[in-house]
Copies of this chain bind each other. A is one copy, B any other.
Amino acid sequence: MDQTDFLSPADAGLDWIGADGPSADIVLSTRIRLARNLRDHRFGPFARPEDRAAVRDTILDAAEEIESLRDGIRLEIGSLGSLERSLLLERHLVSKELIGEGDTGTTSQSMLLLGSPSSVGVMVNEEDHFRLQSLVSGLRIREAWQEVDRLDDEMGNRLAYAFHPQFGYLTSCPTNVGTGLRASVLMHLPGLVLTQEIGKVLQGIVQVGLTFRGLYGEGSEVVGNFFQISNQTTLGKTEEDLLDHLTKIVTQVIQYESHARSVLLRDAPTVIEDKVWRAYGLLRHARTISFEEVMNLLSGVRLGVSLKLLQSPSVYTLNRIMVFTQPAHLHRAANSTLTQTESEVHRASFVRKILEDDEGQRRA
């Protein structure tokens, strides 16, 4: 298919914002990725152009034989413009590394294969030779694992993985050696932030060997009270153990968050209701707005919807606003390059339109 059309289905790769998974009002999405390398090719910073080319060809050959990858989307990262690369990043479909914004800084022979359904994908010639990813809505660690594990089996049947009998899967960065597994759960924790318990909770998360990050993964700041919680360790434990541990902790954090919300509703109902409605009022009426402010206001509205203080919009609508008000998505919708000022006007207009339509539907 034409590369420039790769996002023509407006929601390509956006299964994860469907808000149809369990605990979707607190857990936005679950992502699991496996880092894999091929035995007979140098990897990481030692990979030569011929290694990258061979990896690419080998993986494409394998993908041809795998049903879930055969009919999906294939993108040559090197031939994508910066807007298209940013679109992929904003949809959480690629890592910064894959689109050339990481340490290696190259996109030579890099590809994204999006499966069908597009909740699974393969990043080729990323930091590792390839990474398999499953990204789904809500808290679905088990399902995401089954999906990516099946794909890993299918690939493993056709490819010679770099695998060490003692260490496990070998990876470019030692922190991924072992299972090569990273499972992340994107959580919305405004209750814990408002009750100022978040520090304690995050500390606890670190103490049990997990880690937390912002919306865009490693090195990104926390915006809109979203926290990505994931396993830190990849070595010395089975995949099952890692996933069970994450599930257990995330389930606990959901309980803490729910409890914080009910405490807020009990002790400061007016303050919360006011906060929620003011956030809605600003989103509904602002004429110019930054992405960061949108995220912070969406956090308030999301809390309100979850607490049933607001009858609308739906969590799915909120997720859509979050994705489509990012810079590259705005540029794409405007079909032209926007200055920062123009971008903030477009963003406000987009948000207003969505909420207005939503209000209209509710009234009708």
Contacts and interface: CB of A to CB of B under 8 A. Distances in A.
Contacts of A10: none
Q: Quick one: copies of this chain in the complex?
A: 2
A355 to B, nearest CB: 11
Among A274, A286, A345, the most chain B Cβ lie within 10 Å of the Cβ of: A274
A293 to B, nearest CB: 11
Nearest to A276: B287
A271 B287 CA distance: 8
Contact of A281 (B270, B286, B288, B341): B286
Contacts of A287: 270, 273-274, 277-278
A43 interface: no
B285 A278 contact: yes
A284 interface: yes
A16 interface: no
Nearest to A363: B363
Interface SS, A side: helix
A282 interface: yes
Interface in A280-310: 280-282, 284-289
A341 B282 CA distance: 23
A289 B273 CA distance: 12
A94 interface: no
A341 B289 CA distance: 31
B288 A282 contact: no
Contact of A278 (B271, B282, B345): B282
Contacts of A273: 287
Contacts of A286: 274, 277-278, 281
A284 B286 CA distance: 13
A315 interface: no
A205 B271 CA distance: 42
22 contacts: A270-B287, A270-B288, A270-B345, A271-B288, A273-B287, A274-B286, A274-B287, A274-B288, A274-B289, A274-B348, A277-B285, A277-B286, A278-B282, A278-B285, A278-B287, A280-B285, A281-B281, A281-B282, A281-B285, A281-B286, A282-B282, A284-B285
Interface of A: 270-271, 273-274, 277-278, 280-282, 284-289, 341, 345, 348
> Which 10 pairs between the two chains have the least Cβ-Cβ distance?
A281-B285, A281-B281, A274-B287, A277-B285, A273-B287, A274-B288, A270-B288, A277-B287, A281-B282, A278-B286
